[in-house]
Amino acid sequence: MGAVPGLTQATQQATTAAQQADLSRELAAQGRLAGLEQAALTGNIDLQRNLEQLKLQRAMGSEATAAQNLALLEAQRGSIGPNVAQGLSQTATALAANPGAFAEGGKVKYGHGGEMKEDVMIAILQDSSSPQ
């Protein structure tokens, strides 16, 4: 019976060694898993940062385009006054150069005694009745 305590001690040592080896493998696997999770998290953060930078660049481009459009509209608004004044000046000049243009209410005189030829009148009526 003297061999039983030695055998029990050897079995306990072997069991303890197996448990420690198992624990070491489990800790190593958890460490690798933690490393993989950290790498995935870092990758997601980098991807999110890149997406936000793209959104920022797009927004800045849109802002620049809007600023250009505003500048163009302001330039066009500035040219309205001179264009209106020029148009009024040209109209006044045309009226002054041809004072009889609106005698009798601005009637248009035709070359044939104020009447149109029948084929011209039909063409005008057909053009006005056709959908555009």
Tell me, what DSSP letter sits at residue 132?
-
**Is 46 domain-assigned?**
yes
- Of the candidates 77, 102, 104, the residue with the CA atom closest to the CA atom of residue 91: 102
pTM for this structure? 0.42
**Is 69 domain-assigned?**
yes
Q: Which positions of the chain have pLDDT values less than 70?
A: 1-2, 99-116, 129-132
pLDDT digits (tens, 9 = 90+) for 88-112: 888 888 777 776 666 666 565 556 5
Which of 44-76 are b and which e, b meaning 16 or more Cβ less than 10 Å from the residue's Cβ? eeeeeeeeeeeeeeeeeeeeeeeeeeeeeeeee
The whole domain housing 50 covers 1-77
**Is 6 domain-assigned?**
yes
Work out how many domains the chain is built from and give that number.
1
